[in-house]
Amino acid sequence: MEYSRIRGTGVSPGIAIGEIFLKERVIFTTRKELISKNQITGELERLREAFERTGAQLFSLKEEIREKIGDEHAFIFDAHLMILKDKSLSPSMKNIIQDEGCRAEWAISQVHEKYAKLFDSIEDDYFRQRQSDVSDVLSKIYLNLKPTEKVEKDDHKEKILVAHDLLPSEAATSLSQGNILAVALEMGGPTSHTAILARSLNIPAVMGLRNITKKVKIGDCLIVDGSDGEVIINPPLAIRKEFSSKKNKYEDYRRELKKTAKLEPKTLDGVSFFLLANIELPEEVATAFSMGAEGIGLFRSEFIYLQRSSLPSEEDHFRIYSRIAKKAHPFPVYIRTIDVGGDKNLPQLKIEKEHNPALGLRAIRFSLWDRDLFKIQLRAILRASTLRNVRILIPMITEIEELAELKILYNEVKDDLRSKKIAFDPHVPLGAMIEVPAAAAIADLLVKEVDYLSIGTNDLIQYYLAVDRSNEFVSYLYKPFHPSILRVIKFVIETAQKEGKEITVCGEMAADPLSAIVLLGFGLKRFSMNPIFIPRIKNTLRSVEYKYVQEIVQNAMTLKTAQEVEEYIIEKTLVKHPKALLMGQMK
């Protein structure tokens, strides 16, 4: 058995060791089997029965998935039932059987090919997604032509699923069975449906593994390291042992996390703090709450655009926002209006190539430039606000005039909704992100114009220190503890608090234990981060005394360099609260 290692993208953390289960695709026939005229009626009946069986299966799968893993994954089957009932699907197959005098298998394969070509020519991500759904339904009908063959249940025991790709319903059915140890796929990435599902079911997964289906054989042993994005085929004993112990450590860590998620968010001396989640997809809401989030502190709405190449309609926006608001209710949801430009290029918006995109037409600047698009988004957010837990967050504010301009648009949208008697919450809080140094410097003026502030430390550090946040050559200069950064953050937090306004930090600093201690020391009580880091920050902040942290952070402000600050905070924390920095490193 040959030993080898393949690197991919880790999309769901954790480690699994086990035997492989190779999931083969349904291969549609390429052979046209002819039948005689008097067999045609029987063949049409065979097809009808296959449709009927598929419908029944989809319906019971929907119920099963709803029970096992919740509504948010069961909706796929509604879409599949709609495809099955599509007016043209069954007739187009029947016509082929009748006109060409052939088996139903050939008719399905022809229809499959026709759809594949059609979707390919459209070249649209959104439709491509529909293509995989259509393919999924056609595969089921195809398999149901031979009813004795088992279609749905993967009765393999405790194995690692290896496949080229998983269709949405395959992912939901396979992963919910409870016997898949891990997933290793050639296709897919962190935002694919399978990845989200794997994360929410806590199944390690690696994707983007080139040719893995060709490199493995039935009976091979595999290690899937979802944290590091690696798959090891037929590992020697020493490597197995190494990963076994890594796996145990990770599982201990997860158990600790789970316990922590349920604990009260209070420091040792009883000061409450709030941990919220940054999300990019509606499907992440459930994970966020299971990690102990008390709201969605940042929904990066530009991801609605990143997942498709056409423009989303108001209804598309509305559906997504209301889904999140409903799932999070009664907790708050901060919907950030699109933050395009900079490192996030959205081809469907046709933004001209800029020499310096980080300083260009991005975020609120873009929204004020394409006002029709902005109004569509504002309308959709307001329509989704009827549960009264929605907040609007504006990215990259630089000056007061931008707020004034957007308020005019915002009021126009509200007036329009009122005139059409469309319900919305008239008091949706409006907040500004503090990411541009100029905005931080006038935080005392800005804060009077909004209901709350949220500090985006990722961009604030980039612009304050003039260090590209994604350029590895200058990453050594990207220092959250640079005294200038500490001063500016302290100023913004204290300014908002003086004004009695809510203040949150939603950049990566909130997710780092040491930085969280510093932020708490500045008086910050609201931290928003990637859901996976919520338990560890809760652990950190629960393990410290607010008073003590305030004291050490105040002392740290007299230090001259980031390194001195870091060493001082570590040293002082370890002396009094060593538990605060435990659980720090593992992902």
Q: How many CB atoms lie within 10 A of CB 52?
A: 12
Nearer to ligand PEP by C-beta: 268 or 436? 436
Nearer to ligand PEP by C-beta: 141 or 518? 518
Q: Dmax of the chain from CA atoms?
A: 94
Nearer to ligand PEP by C-beta: 381 or 511? 511
| 193 is annotated as an active-site residue | yes
Measured from the CB of residue 435, what is the shortest distance to ligand PEP in angstroms?
A: 5
Task: Return the H-helix or E-strand segment holding 336.
Answer: strand 333-336
Binding to Mg ion by residue 459, rule CB under 5 A? yes
Binding to ligand PEP by residue 300, rule CB under 6 A? yes
506 binds, among Mg ion, ligand PEP, none (CB under 5 to 8 A by kind): ligand PEP
Q: How many CB atoms lie within 10 A of CB 91?
A: 10
One DSSP character per residue, 25-63 reads PPPPP-S--B--GGGHHHHHHHHHHHHHHHHHHHHHHHH
User: Based on the number of CB atoms within 10 Å of its own CB, is 36 exposed (0-12), middle (13-18) or buried (19 or more)?
Assistant: exposed
Stretch that binds ligand PEP, among 57-65, 84-92, 439-447, 451-459 (CB under 6 A): 451-459
Measured from the CB of residue 339, what is the shortest distance to ligand PEP in angstroms?
A: 6
Measured from the CB of residue 459, what is the shortest distance to Mg ion in angstroms?
A: 4
For residue 85, what are its two tokens? 């009932």
Binding to ligand PEP by residue 339, rule CB under 6 A? yes
Nearer to Mg ion by C-beta: 28 or 464? 464
Nearer to ligand PEP by C-beta: 162 or 298? 298
Nearer to ligand PEP by C-beta: 292 or 456? 456
Binding to ligand PEP by residue 457, rule CB under 6 A? yes
Encoded amino acid at 506, one letter: C
Site residues for Mg ion, 270-299, by CB under 5 A, read none
Binding to Mg ion by residue 226, rule CB under 5 A? no
| 102 is annotated as an active-site residue | no
Binding to ligand PEP by residue 230, rule CB under 6 A? no
Measured from the CB of residue 105, what is the shortest distance to ligand PEP in angstroms?
A: 49
Which is catalytic among the residues 102, 317, 506, 577? 506
300 binds, among ligand PEP, Mg ion, none (CB under 5 to 8 A by kind): ligand PEP
Measured CA to CA, the distance from residue 357 to residue 344 in angstroms comes to 9
340 binds, among ligand PEP, Mg ion, none (CB under 5 to 8 A by kind): none
Please provide the size of the chain in residues.
587
Measured from the CB of residue 311, what is the shortest distance to ligand PEP in angstroms?
A: 21
Sign of CA dihedral 437, 438, 441, 444: negative
Q: At what angle do helices 168-176 and 40-69 cross, to 10 degrees?
A: 60
Bridge partners of 529, per DSSP, are 277
Site residues for Mg ion, 424-443, by CB under 5 A, read 435
512 binds, among Mg ion, ligand PEP, none (CB under 5 to 8 A by kind): none
Binding to ligand PEP by residue 459, rule CB under 6 A? yes
Binding to ligand PEP by residue 297, rule CB under 6 A? no
Measured CA to CA, the distance from residue 486 to residue 480 in angstroms comes to 7
The DSSP bridge pattern shows strands 502-505 and 452-455 to be parallel
Comparing CA positions, the residue from 151, 148, 243 lying closest to residue 204 is: 243
Please report, for residues 342, 357, 368, 402, 460, the alpha-carbon distance to residue 354 in angstroms, rounded to integers and kept in the order given. Answer: 9, 5, 17, 21, 21
Nearer to ligand PEP by C-beta: 108 or 461? 461
Q: How many CB atoms lie within 10 A of CB 337?
A: 21
Site residues for ligand PEP, 490-509, by CB under 6 A, read 506-507
227 binds, among Mg ion, ligand PEP, none (CB under 5 to 8 A by kind): none
Number of residues that bind ligand PEP (CB under 6 A): 10
Which residues touch 39 (CB under 8 Å, ≥6 apart)?
none
Q: Is the peptide bond before 330 cis (omega within 30 degrees of 0)?
A: yes
Measured CA to CA, the distance from residue 498 to residue 496 in angstroms comes to 5
Which is catalytic among the residues 112, 193, 482, 577? 193
458, 497, 530, 550: which one binds ligand PEP (CB under 6 A): 458
Nearer to ligand PEP by C-beta: 184 or 394? 394
456, 480, 513, 521: which one binds ligand PEP (CB under 6 A): 456
Binding to ligand PEP by residue 364, rule CB under 6 A? no
456, 480, 521, 535: which one binds Mg ion (CB under 5 A): 456
The DSSP bridge pattern shows strands 230-233 and 221-225 to be antiparallel
Which residues touch 67 (CB under 8 Å, ≥6 apart)?
none
72, 294, 435, 512: which one binds ligand PEP (CB under 6 A): 435
For residue 509, what are its two tokens? 């600093």
Nearer to Mg ion by C-beta: 182 or 450? 450
Measured from the CB of residue 506, what is the shortest distance to Mg ion in angstroms?
A: 9
Measured CA to CA, the distance from residue 248 to residue 255 in angstroms comes to 11
Angle at 476 between CA 540 and CA 521, to 5 degrees: 30
Comparing CA positions, the residue from 457, 366, 460, 440 lying closest to residue 406 is: 366
Please report, for residues 44, 49, 88, 300, 512, the alpha-carbon distance to residue 100 in angstroms, rounded to integers and kept in the order given. Answer: 13, 20, 18, 52, 65
Measured from the CB of residue 469, what is the shortest distance to Mg ion in angstroms?
A: 9
Measured from the CB of residue 510, what is the shortest distance to Mg ion in angstroms?
A: 13
Instruction: Catalog residues that contact ligand PEP under the rule CB under 6 A.
Output: 298, 300, 339, 435, 456-459, 506-507
Which of the residues are catalytic? 193, 506
State the residues that interact with Mg ion by CB under 5 A. 435, 456, 459
